[in-house]
Amino acid sequence: MSIVIPCLDEAENIGECVRRAFAALEENGIAGEVIVVDNGSVDGSGELAKDAGATVILEVRRGYGQAYLTGFEAAGGDYIVMIDADLTYDFAEIPRFVSELDGGAQLVMGNRMDSIHPGAMSVLSRVGNPVLSGFLKLLHPTLVGDAHCGLRAVRRDVLRQLDLRSTGMEFASEMVIRAGKVNLDVREVPIALHVRGGESKLSPFRDGWRHLRLILIYSPNALFVIPGVALVVLGALVIVLVFAHVALFGRAFYVHTLIAGSALTIIGTQVVGLGLCGRAYAVYVLGEGDRWIERMQGRLRLEHGLLLGLAIASAGLALVGIVVGIWIEHGFGTLGQERLAIVAMTFLVIGIQVFFTSFLLSLLGMRRG
């Protein structure tokens, strides 16, 4: 087994962390190693860890995730325990995590939320952690209640499946999201959170944003498809209302209302296209499962998208022809067909978007093999 500890300027704690890690191994008869990844400390943390008996690896590229990725490469154990270097977690809990792995779990997460010692977590984090974990659970298939706990254990043989890439604090969220996407056996163990030693390196707003950003990036539906569809529906509704108002009352809203409806529809179509490309990228490039994309792959081909785009664009061109014809009839004078021209432009732009988005989806699909 390997205990991996990322470390950045933790001179007050790192020696004690290493000693407690070895004690947890020896007292429970577990054969293992302790690896400290020195993430560019300037306070001698690396030397202190080495003096305490740990294998120290220098990783000058800063980042919580980067330190762990480097530690994973160096780890030789079949099980890898991840734990912070600030003494907030009890090293005596490690055997419980090992026991879960022995029982078939592939990823074991600690859950701190029911046992936080006074002063161990700021008020902002007490609110932010459950909110972010809840948002993650809403968008991704996981039952993990504390997605950002720094004490966890993973089987080394599933790291390739996880294919982790984040280098910052969002690494914690990525591991949970990826575990859900590849259907790992994930279990939670309730643990206590103690007051840290030394100064915290966390930046609540910056690190919180990094977590939120990653949660959204891994969910093209929430980031693109749903907002895009909402924009298309809203824009189309505005356009219909404008023309309905003309038919019923003989007069229209200001033309600016129609322009707004057109803009919403065009933007929404583009955003939906980006979402579909994001889902296709996840399937064909990252190897994730997406039943809808895989089902559509068997039913729809590039030509279907091209024909749809050409049909919509042709409708737009036909309307442009009508507008030009009216203009000619009026002797190239004042046109007075602003509403029809806006609708024609809307159809033309959407048709072009659909046409070229179909090519991009096909290009991503070429990676399917």
Tell me: do 107 and 140 sit in the same domain. Answer: yes
Q: What is the pLDDT of residue 369?
A: 46
Tell me: do 17 and 129 sit in the same domain. Answer: yes
Domain boundary among 190, 217, 244: 217
Tell me: do 62 and 29 sit in the same domain. Answer: yes
How do residues 311-355 score in pLDDT, each as one tens digit? 999 999 999 898 888 877 766 655 557 888 899 999 999 999 999
Tell me: do 259 and 124 sit in the same domain. Answer: no
Report the C-alpha gap between 151 and 159 in whole angstroms: 17
Tell me: do 225 and 175 sit in the same domain. Answer: no
Q: What is the pLDDT of residue 32?
A: 95
Tell me: do 167 and 23 sit in the same domain. Answer: yes
How do residues 147-175 score in pLDDT, each as one tens digit? 999 999 999 999 999 999 999 999 999 99
Tell me: do 26 and 41 sit in the same domain. Answer: yes
Domain boundary among 160, 190, 217: 217
Q: Report the candidate in 263, 262, 242 with the shortest Cα–Cα distance to residue 253.
A: 242
Q: What is the pLDDT of residue 294?
A: 67
Tell me: do 68 and 144 sit in the same domain. Answer: yes
The three-state secondary structure class of 56 is strand
Report the C-alpha gap between 30 and 25 in whole angstroms: 5
Report the C-alpha gap between 207 and 193 in whole angstroms: 19
Containing structural domain, residue 235:
220-368
Alpha helices in the chain (DSSP H): 14-27, 45-51, 64-74, 94-102, 123-139, 159-162, 171-181, 204-217, 220, 226-249, 255-284, 291-299, 302-329, 338-365
Q: Domain tally for the chain?
A: 2
Tell me: do 119 and 9 sit in the same domain. Answer: yes
Tell me: do 204 and 55 sit in the same domain. Answer: yes
Contacts of the segment 177-184: beta carbons below 8 A, 24+ positions apart: 177/136, 177/140, 177/142, 177/214, 177/215, 177/218, 179/106, 179/107, 179/142, 180/140, 180/141, 180/142, 181/140, 181/141, 181/218, 181/288, 181/289, 182/158, 182/288, 184/106, 184/107, 184/158
Q: What is the pLDDT of residue 54?
A: 96
Determine how many CB atoms are found less than 10 A away from the CB of residue 305.
Answer: 21
Q: What is the pLDDT of residue 83?
A: 97
Q: Residue 249: CB partners within 8 Å, gap ≥ 6?
A: none
Domain boundary among 158, 186, 217: 217
Report whether 125 contacts 177 (CB < 8 A): no
Tell me: do 250 and 310 sit in the same domain. Answer: yes
Enumerate residue ranges in the chain where pLDDT < 50: 369
- In this structure, what CATH number is given to the domain that contains residue 204? 3.90.550.10
Tell me: do 123 and 261 sit in the same domain. Answer: no
